[in-house]
A and B are shown apart, each in its own frame.
Chain A
Amino acid sequence: MKNLILLVTLLGAVSWTPALAQGRGGRAGGPPQPPATPRGAAPVDLTGYWVSVVTEDWRYRMVMPAWGDYQGVPLTPAARKIADSWDAAREAASGEPCKAYGAPALLRVPGRLHITWQDDETLKLETDAGQQTRLFHFGAWKSPGGSRTLQGDSLAEWEGGGRGSTDGSLKVTTSNLKGGFLRKNGVPYSDNVSLMEYYELVTQPDGAPLLVVTISTTDPEYLRVPFVISSQFKKEPGNAKWKPSPCSATW
């Protein structure tokens, strides 16, 4: 009987420990704790400096892809027509060098990310390549409206995690986007585009975290089906290699 009571005590302790470890309060006795903020409730820590690991779609990302090469992108006939009429010289002179740096394509641009908490309910993602900023708003944030932008309006929520695991992910849905390019050679997306992303950490063989972002782009005008890709980033110890550079339409 004594052994059984000991077992029960131990099992009880096991069942309570993760909640305490997550710092969410409210179950361990004492005064009630206020609800955790999105920052406090984060099941994984996405903050820090991250560098692209370009092992996929290399010739569409590391160099300028050939005009008319839209291999892998499920374009509609209307979109193919636009891609086929793209002209490098015209694009360079357009005065809009950031068309391939909008949210649907930004994480395909080789470069570095800097992720920080702007406040307890807003996660900020900046890039050195193209010097873009995205804001991921948690909770009941409402878009102020206004004109469409390259990075749009992003709503964020945590999924999973806890129990001592690192399987939690950040789900981000983005709308109010201005049309742009999925690739620098003029493969288009329209103003009707929307985006769903999952940001998650995967443990590399050496134990270091790898940020994997699965990106699903929906565009009823220029895509036959959602365009789904995934990009990965290794964590860096600091900003030593952070190298801001402007958008380029030709490189």
Chain B
Amino acid sequence: MQRHAALTLVMLALASVPARAEIDFSGSWVSINHEDALERGAGPNPADWAGLPFNESGRAKALGFNQSVISEPERICWFQTQWHIAAGPFSLRMWAVPDPVTGRVQAWVVGAWETRAPMTIWMDGRPRPGTHAPHDQTGFTTGVWNGNELVATTTHLKVGYMRRNGAASSDQATITTHFRRHGNLLTVTMFMDDPVYLTEPYILTRAYNLSTNPVSIGGPPCITGDEGVESGRVPHYLPGQNPYIGEMTKRYGIPVDALMGGAETMYPEYRDKLKDAFVTPPKCALNCGG
């Protein structure tokens, strides 16, 4: 009797505790590529790093980048890091993985694309691997709830791209991803915190619409072929030899200094520096939308 009474009291108490706030992110989320449409779709213009909080190392590495590097046999099947969620154009498919015994959510998964491995967000409190554990493009991600917001932290990444024109992230980078749902609208905020190439975190926010059409995940297996770069050669530009510097200036009238990025280019005051150096461009003739 005493045991039953105690059990009843416990159950009543548990019923009065607010449920741990969790929201269901399951489903197919179609990417709304209205901002940074060119950068996320066809790809950014070469030597355009405006609005990116580079340090000198980040800028130097980007200036040495030659797009043909991705045709190296060693890199044809090289995956993007999880940053590609924000930097790329693709939609998301998300699902929860329950623990087979307790039914509790063990992980949330953001499905893969052709060039990005799935992001498995471990929710079970498992420890992060040690500092010297192997790194890869997938990284290791854990998640916590902040009310109905899912916050995922990714470490143990290999070198990747912040922008697909050579702006690189290092293997010391940490990506923090915030998922917020408003009915059928999803807002994803991503922070790239990289002490090697950035002076402050790089921030991107993206929006998605829930869809009943399933977003495909994965893709055909990547097959290495001959794309014209022989094995052993690493396409690059030596310091001072990047041929694309000035291309954006010709096309859009933007001064080269601004295109070289740096944290100051992210803030309104920078417009004062730009005003006199900017040249109004002619009518758009390429990649104009429509």
Min CB distance, A220 to chain B, in Å? Answer: 17
User: Contact: A8 with B283, CB < 8 Å?
Assistant: no
Inside 8 A of B205's CB, which chain A residues have their CB?
Answer: 56, 212, 214, 230-232
- Interface of B, helix, strand, loop or mixed by DSSP: mixed
User: Contact: B36 with A57, CB < 8 Å?
Assistant: yes
Stretch at the interface among B98-106, B227-235, B262-270: B262-270
The tally of residues in B whose CB lies under 8 Å from a CB in A reads 68
Q: Which of B173-200 contact A (CB under 8 A)?
A: 174, 176, 178, 180, 182, 185, 187, 189, 191, 193
Inside 8 A of B203's CB, which chain A residues have their CB?
Answer: 53, 55, 204, 210, 232
Contact of B182 among A162, A198, A251 (CB under 8 A): A198
* Known contacts A68-B284, A205-B193; A230 and B252 CB within 8 A of each other: no
Inside 8 A of B270's CB, which chain A residues have their CB?
Answer: 62
Tell me, in angstroms, the Cα distance from A200 to B180 when the chains sit together.
Answer: 9
Inside 8 A of B274's CB, which chain A residues have their CB?
Answer: 62-63
User: Contact: B267 with A57, CB < 8 Å?
Assistant: no
Is A249 part of the contact surface with B, judged by Cβ < 8 Å? no
User: Contact: B187 with A110, CB < 8 Å?
Assistant: no
Tell me, in angstroms, the Cα distance from A66 to B270 when the chains sit together.
Answer: 19
Chain B 108-149 near chain A by CB (<8 Å), digits 1 or 0: 000000000000000000000000000000000000011111
Stretch at the interface among A70-78, A94-102, A147-155: A70-78
* Known contacts A72-B33, A165-B147; A18 and B14 CB within 8 A of each other: no
Min CB distance, A174 to chain B, in Å? Answer: 16
Inside 8 A of B252's CB, which chain A residues have their CB?
Answer: 59, 63, 66
Inside 8 A of A41's CB, which chain B residues have their CB?
Answer: none
Of A75, A169, A205, the most chain B CB neighbours within 10 A belong to: A205
Inside 8 A of A111's CB, which chain B residues have their CB?
Answer: 268
Inside 8 A of A166's CB, which chain B residues have their CB?
Answer: 146-147, 149
User: Contact: B187 with A230, CB < 8 Å?
Assistant: yes
Q: Which of B245-290 contact A (CB under 8 A)?
A: 252-254, 258, 265-271, 274-275, 278, 280-284, 287-290
User: Contact: B182 with A71, CB < 8 Å?
Assistant: no
Is A67 part of the contact surface with B, judged by Cβ < 8 Å? yes
Tell me, in angstroms, the Cα distance from A251 to B275 when the chains sit together.
Answer: 8
Tell me, in angstroms, the Cα distance from A200 to B32 when the chains sit together.
Answer: 19
Is B207 part of the contact surface with A, judged by Cβ < 8 Å? yes
Chain A 1-13 near chain B by CB (<8 Å), digits 1 or 0: 1001101100110
What is the chain A residue whose CB lies nearest that of B205? A230
Tell me, in angstroms, the Cα distance from A204 to B268 when the chains sit together.
Answer: 20
Contact of B38 among A63, A71, A204 (CB under 8 A): A71
Is A105 part of the contact surface with B, judged by Cβ < 8 Å? no
Is B61 part of the contact surface with A, judged by Cβ < 8 Å? no
Is B223 part of the contact surface with A, judged by Cβ < 8 Å? no
Tell me, in angstroms, the Cα distance from A11 to B21 when the chains sit together.
Answer: 16
Inside 8 A of B289's CB, which chain A residues have their CB?
Answer: 69-73, 75
Is A247 part of the contact surface with B, judged by Cβ < 8 Å? no
Q: Which of A137-173 contact B (CB under 8 A)?
A: 159-163, 165-169, 171
User: Contact: A241 with B269, CB < 8 Å?
Assistant: yes
User: Contact: B268 with A56, CB < 8 Å?
Assistant: no
* Known contacts A55-B266, A66-B284, A68-B283; A210 and B13 CB within 8 A of each other: no
Is A178 part of the contact surface with B, judged by Cβ < 8 Å? no
Inside 8 A of B193's CB, which chain A residues have their CB?
Answer: 205
Is B202 part of the contact surface with A, judged by Cβ < 8 Å? yes
Tell me, in angstroms, the Cα distance from A112 to B146 when the chains sit together.
Answer: 28
Inside 8 A of A129's CB, which chain B residues have their CB?
Answer: 268
Contact of A169 among B21, B146, B176, B180 (CB under 8 A): B180
Seen from chain A, the residues whose Cβ lies within 8 Å of a Cβ on chain B are 1, 4-5, 7-8, 11-12, 14-15, 18, 51-59, 62-64, 66-75, 80, 88, 110-112, 129, 159-163, 165-169, 171, 198, 200, 202-206, 210, 212, 214, 216, 227-232, 241, 251
Seen from chain B, the residues whose Cβ lies within 8 Å of a Cβ on chain A are 2, 6, 9-10, 12-14, 16-18, 21, 32-38, 50-52, 145-149, 151, 174, 176, 178, 180, 182, 185, 187, 189, 191, 193, 201-207, 209, 252-254, 258, 265-271, 274-275, 278, 280-284, 287-290
Give me 12 A-to-B residue pairs in the complex whose CB atoms sit less than 8 angstroms apart, sorted by A's number: A1-B6, A53-B267, A56-B36, A62-B51, A72-B35, A75-B290, A111-B268, A129-B268, A160-B148, A162-B147, A166-B149, A203-B146
Kindly list the 3 A-B residue pairs having the minimum CB-CB distance in the complex, ordered from nearest.
A165-B147, A72-B37, A167-B147
